[in-house]
Structures are given as structure tokens and as C-alpha cells.
Structure 1
Amino acid sequence: MAETAEEIKARKERERDELYALDISGVEWQCAPGTEDHEERVEIAYLPGGAVAMRSSLDPDTVLRYTEAEWRAFVLGARDGEFDVEPEPQN
């Protein structure tokens, strides 16, 4: 039996709540190879169940968390160019 839209929404809210309840104080943050400690960069940490946490090196206290499915969708979208940003025209 397929989930209704309301059931899907409730499940996703539960997943999010569980993800943000995780203690991540001891996770190992990783960044792209070749970046220096003083450079602005995106850092990620792998969490249980395939989830991922992401933060900016300039604001390490603000952490976004993604379920395995959300992270997979993001990575695949980035690989397909869905998040490519066109430069703003210069005046």
C-alpha cells in the first residue's frame, strides 16, 4: 500500500527530527583536498545511516543535516549541473 502525501510528510519530519537530535560533537569534518585551513570551504561529516552534515568553515556552528536520500539527490543533481549558477552580468 502506497504512502499518502500526509504520511510521507510525517515520515520526513520524523527523519529530520531524529537527524537533528543526533549528537555530532565528535564527528570528523572533511573538506575538498587541497584546501588550506584559512580558506573558506564547505565541510561535510558522514553520520549514521548514510546521513551527512554540512557546514561552512566560516560558520562552523551552523550545521545542515541531510538524510541519505536527500544527500544522494543533491550529489546527483550537482553532477548533472542542476545547481550551476550563471554569473550575474557586470554593469
Structure 2
Amino acid sequence: MSLPTVGQAADAVNGKKLHDASCVTECHAKRVNGESNKLYTRDNNKKSLEALKAQVAICNEKVLSSKWFPEDEADVVEYLNKEFYHFK
């Protein structure tokens, strides 16, 4: 497995795998009665790509036991943005 090079696009498929393995099982399902995707469709969800990036970084640093690399964070942001947020 090779690490992404500078400027390489984030990988939403890998982001989904990371998200499903860490975010859903460690936190989200507990917060919204087992329906983890409700976290992204509530009224007070993130309003910008920068806010989404910041939230993923906070979760990675303070909540997750997996401790992703920066490129993993970028992959998760890519997945969440494509699936739920649709920021440009």
C-alpha cells in the first residue's frame, strides 16, 4: 500500500471504510439511537467544508481510538461531503 502523494485526490471509498469502522461504531450510533446518518441530516449540521474538516479533525484527535493520518482525515471528509453535504 502506498501513501498518497502531495496533491493526490482524497479517496471517498476509503473514507467510507474508515468512517464506518470508527465513527459509527465508536460514537455516532450511540448519540442518535443507532441511526448514525441522522447526525449529518439534522438542522444544526456543518455549514461549510472548512467546518466539516475541522469537525473530522476534532473527532480524530479527541474521540477516536484509531488516530488517523491526515490523508485518512481527508478521505473521510471527501466521503462525508459526497454523501451528505455537497459543498463545493
Instruction: Give the structure with the larger strand fraction.
Output: 1
Same fold (TM over 0.5): no
TM-score normalised by length of structure 2: 0.27
Instruction: Give the structure with the larger helix fraction.
Output: 2
